[in-house]
Amino acid sequence: MSRMDQVAVWQRRRFLQAVGAAPLCGLATASVSEPLSGTLRRSSVEDVEGLNLGFSLYGTKQLPLDQSLQACAAAGYRHVEFCLNAGFPTEPAVFDATARRQTAQRLQELNLTLPCLMIQIPLVCDETVQQASLQVIRTAAQLARDLVPEQPPMLETVVGGNPAKWDEQKAGMLQRLQGWATVAQEQQVTLLIKAHVGSAMNSPERLLWLLQECGSPAVQAAYDFSHFELQGLDLRTTLTQLLPRTRFIHVKDTSGDAAKFRFLLPGEGRTDYVQYFRLLRELKYAGPVCVEVSGQVSGQPGYDPLVAIRSTAEKLNSALAASAGQTSTEN
């Protein structure tokens, strides 16, 4: 199921009834089933150029949280993104105070940073759903402060809607986004909205219109080229348009086009990551670049999140090093 499908399900089921009181749930501490080298592999390019790779735990729903963290650290990732959707170990309703304290400590032990939390809230909805969305932001903001009080993670979401109905939906979307911005400012967190193929906000121009009309520093952009690549848009052009407002980048690969497509793991499709990283450096982006495993991939029989973590780290670190004319080193 895609993130857009999940937004639709959320609207129907009011998924975030789960934002209420959290029952006890300790942090699972399973070891990685296939141990990786204890040496954390860091690309020298990361440290010099400021391009740091991460992995979204949206792709590890079936693993205990600590196992996901260990695997990401062992693969050499610098960042992780937590998913707050129902059924994930970091869902706020089951991620209790003890688990939060343990996780904050574990992130430090593994030298992992947490720049972003993934949420799912729609901008095309009725007032009941809008009020639930505002509560989602408050609940996610509290979790962000609990995990990293000195620099709470940003909150990232797609926004739903129908691309053919943009003109009739955009005014309502803007009004609801302004409501999100007010709560985000009160909670002292940054909200990131991401353009998505098949949604009302599917292009850089539409994303920028919402950001500019909203006019809040608490609302910025998450960038994911896969959604533009499927529409035949150019990497340099979309980066140039959006990087001034971009605080976080997702990467995944694609095949097909906007009418019929599949998302793939980075390195399995047509995206040129050497060129991608060269452009990011040229355009002075120095934020997180985080692998997002689509539900089209993680929902396939035989999907192994540990293999996905390792394989994407190897391919992206290789591209990152090649983009600077350097080779990866082990520290």
Asked if the structure places residue 23 within a domain, the reply is no
Q: How far apart (Å, rounded) are the C-alpha atoms in residues 63 and 41? A: 22
- Tens-of-pLDDT digits for all 331 residues of the chain? 555 554 444 444 433 333 333 332 334 333 333 333 333 444 433 444 578 999 999 999 999 999 999 999 999 999 999 999 999 999 999 999 999 999 999 999 999 999 999 999 999 999 999 999 999 999 999 999 999 999 999 999 999 999 999 999 999 999 999 999 999 999 999 999 999 999 999 999 999 999 999 999 999 999 999 999 999 999 999 999 999 999 999 999 999 998 898 999 999 999 999 999 999 999 999 899 999 999 999 999 999 999 999 999 999 999 999 998 754 444 3
| pLDDT value at residue 142 | 98
Asked if the structure places residue 63 within a domain, the reply is yes
Q: State the residue range of the domain holding 63.
A: 3-17+33-323
| pLDDT value at residue 139 | 98
| pLDDT value at residue 258 | 86
- Give the 3-state DSSP-derived string for the chain, with helices as H, strands as E and coil as C: CCHHHHHHHHHHHCHHHHHCCCCCCCCCCCCCCCCCCCCCCCCHHHHHHCCEEEEEHHHCCCCCHHHHHHHHHHHCCCEEEEECCCCCCCCCCCCCHHHHHHHHHHHHHCCCEEEEEECCCCCCCCHHHHHHHHHHHHHHHHHHHHHCCCCCCEEEECCCCCHHHHHHHHHHHHHHHHHHHHHHHHHCCCEEEECCCCCCCCCHHHHHHHHHHHCCCCEEEEEEHHHHHCCCCCHHHHHHHHHHHEEEEEECEEEEECCEEEEECCCCCCCCHHHHHHHHHHCCCCCEEEECCCHHHHCCCCCCHHHHHHHHHHHHHHHHHHHCCCCCCCC
CB 122 within 8 A of CB 133: yes
Asked if the structure places residue 25 within a domain, the reply is no
Asked if the structure places residue 241 within a domain, the reply is yes
CATH number at residue 279: 3.20.20.150
Q: How far apart (Å, rounded) are the C-alpha atoms in residues 146 and 144? A: 5
| pLDDT value at residue 92 | 98
Q: How many domains does the chain have?
A: 1
CA distances from 24 to 15, 66, 90 (A): 20, 17, 13
Asked if the structure places residue 60 within a domain, the reply is yes
Asked if the structure places residue 27 within a domain, the reply is no
Asked if the structure places residue 56 within a domain, the reply is yes
| pLDDT value at residue 28 | 38
CA distances from 305 to 60, 262, 290, 302, 314 (A): 6, 18, 15, 10, 14
Asked if the structure places residue 68 within a domain, the reply is yes
